[in-house]
A = this chain, B = another copy of it.
Amino acid sequence: MGKLKVGLIGGGGAGNFFGHVHKRAIALDNTRELVAGALRSDPAAAMEAAEAYDVTGYPSYQALLEAVQKGEQALDYVTIVTPNHAHYAPAKAFLEAGIPVLCEKPMTMTVAEAEDLQRIVQTGKVPFVLAHTYTGHPMMMFAREMIREGRIGDIRKVEAWYNQGWLATALESEGLQQAQWRTDPARTGISNCGGDIGTHAFIAATWVSGRSVKKVSARLNSFVAGRELDDDFNVIGELDNGGTAIITATQIAIGYKNDNGFRIYGSKGSLEWHQERAESLLVRMGEVDETYWIGGNYGFLPESVSSYLRVPAGHHEDFFEALANLHGTMERMIRGGRGEAVAAPFAHPGVDEGVAGMRFVKAAVDSSANNGAWTEL
């Protein structure tokens, strides 16, 4: 069937690491290859970065798009890994050109931009995947499937969190590039902590549970002096079925790395998952705790999940494999659309989840500014 050809927008900056993560996630399965890139906003720097990446370089995403449209560059989809403010323009351009997009989160800077992408995708029927990496973890997918099958009954309460400590001090004043753009409203939008990691917690709360959040009451903090945006983000939400969501994220929890996870309580049982122990899912249906481990050969996994797994039990597929699963979903969408015989893609977050995420962050920021008043999404 040949390898899918992938382009990369962004990821070439000095301190950047996530471009390289996508590079590896693309390469991992040997069915996709990174072939082209517009890797930095500065044209010269972009061309230089392309060498390090060992791909065909372009000075801008527009130049890459033009080359594709002229038939000079074969390309099956692009991956966008720029800072938040630079998601929308290339995403829009490629989608309008009918080229599938796998885009980092949060999807855009504003709700309006998000809704615009949603419209384009819905109209054009172009494959779009939002890179909520963690939803590519098989046990998170399995949790979603268990809930869809009604195994834990009606959803009553969801707790989702993301605790980090890397911004507990003012790293942005010490020249760390990652810290600089993330705490800068011009590049990151109206929320730092909420947009960056609060959205992960939000997706865990909604995408896994199958419920949406209707309205929120929030308290955002900026603990580190001189910081304009939030570094701590706390939300109580009401679910569409009247249930409750507790969604928290922080960047000032010293010693915590990527402590993302969820607990979902239903009328028949509970599920619990931790990103830093991504290989297992805790299921509590009664007296005995059940732990389900990742493993391609496990009979308890539905085909929709096990078809993503690469090895039998006992060897863990983790972060790179999770992200590769999102690229795999994109691959299934593209190949399936061409009539190739591939498994059905899993329902990973796309443009609708992107819009919901933007609305969620906006509502939380507004509620916090309004003394915690309940605010509709």
Contact = CB atoms under 8 A, between A and B. Distances in A.
Interface of A: 2-3, 17, 20-21, 23-24, 27-31, 34, 53-54, 152, 156-157, 159, 163-165, 168, 217, 219, 221, 223, 232, 234, 236, 238, 243-244, 246, 248, 250, 252-259, 263, 265-270, 276, 278-279, 284-293, 295, 298-300, 310-321, 371-374
Given A17-B312, A234-B236, A314-B257, A292 B288 contact: yes
22 contacts: A24-B30, A28-B320, A157-B221, A163-B263, A165-B284, A168-B267, A217-B219, A219-B244, A232-B244, A234-B236, A234-B244, A253-B263, A254-B268, A254-B286, A255-B286, A255-B289, A257-B295, A259-B314, A287-B313, A288-B290, A315-B318, A315-B319
Nearest to A237: B219
A159 B163 CA distance: 11
A319 B310 CA distance: 11
A254 B54 contact: no
A314 B3 contact: no
Contacts of A2: 54
Contact of A278 (B255, B284, B316): B316
A314 B30 contact: no
B157 A232 contact: yes
B265 A250 contact: yes
Contacts of A165: 265, 270, 284
Max count, chain B CB within 10 A of own CB: residue among A30, A244, A255, A300? A255
Contact of A270 (B236, B253, B372): B253
B20 A310 contact: yes
Contacts of A284: 165, 254-256
Contact of A310 (B24, B163, B299, B317): B24
Given A17-B312, A314-B258, A157 B276 contact: no
B316 A317 contact: no
A321 B253 CA distance: 28
Given A28-B24, A288-B292, A291-B288, A316 B314 contact: no
A23 B17 contact: no
A219 B288 CA distance: 30
Contact of A236 (B157, B236, B252, B291): B236
Contacts of A263: 163, 253
